[in-house]
């Protein structure tokens, strides 16, 4: 990011956004994952999903599955299996 000190590195993320028409410009199939109890970005996955105009999938993860927290740390096998299944389906060669 080309910033110093390390604290400025974290602050530099504020310069990046998918607002103001940026999300609508995404053209590739996009997977958006939403954690039921995300304490950091509650509601943002759904906002991104609504803004996308490309082929899109909203994949929800729940606390009951052990995957309700931000980044789904309690159920990584489940999360990765579902994401890889999405990739297999989405990126499968067409005949």
What pLDDT is stored for residue 16 in this prediction?
A: 82
| CA gap 43, 51 in Å, rounded | 13
What pLDDT is stored for residue 19 in this prediction?
A: 83
- Cβ-based neighbours of 77, under 8 Å, separated by 6 or more: none
Ordered by start, the domain boundaries in the chain are 6-90
pLDDT higher than threshold 90 for residue 12: no
Where b means 16+ CB within 10 Å and e means fewer, 14-30 reads: eeeeeeeeebeeeeeeb
- Going by pLDDT thresholds of 50, 70 and 90, the confidence category of residue 11 is confident
| CA gap 40, 17 in Å, rounded | 16
CA 25 to mean position of chain CA atoms: 16
- What's the predicted TM-score (pTM) here? 0.83
> Which H or E run includes 44?
helix 44-51
pLDDT tens digits, 24-64: 999 999 999 999 999 999 999 999 999 999 999 999 999 99
β-bridge mates for residue 35, sequence order: 61
């Amino acid at each position: 990011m080309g910033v110093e000190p390390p604290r400025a590195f974290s602050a530099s993320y504020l310069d990046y956004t998918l607002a103001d028409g940026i999300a609508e410009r995404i053209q590739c199939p996009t997977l958006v994952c939403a954690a039921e109890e995300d304490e950091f970005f509650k509601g943002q996955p759904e906002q991104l999903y609504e803004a996308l105009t490309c082929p899109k999938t909203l994949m929800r993860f729940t606390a009951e599955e052990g995957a309700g927290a931000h980044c789904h740390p309690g159920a990584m096998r489940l999360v990765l299996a579902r994401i890889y299944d999405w990739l297999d389906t989405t990126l499968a060669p067409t005949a």
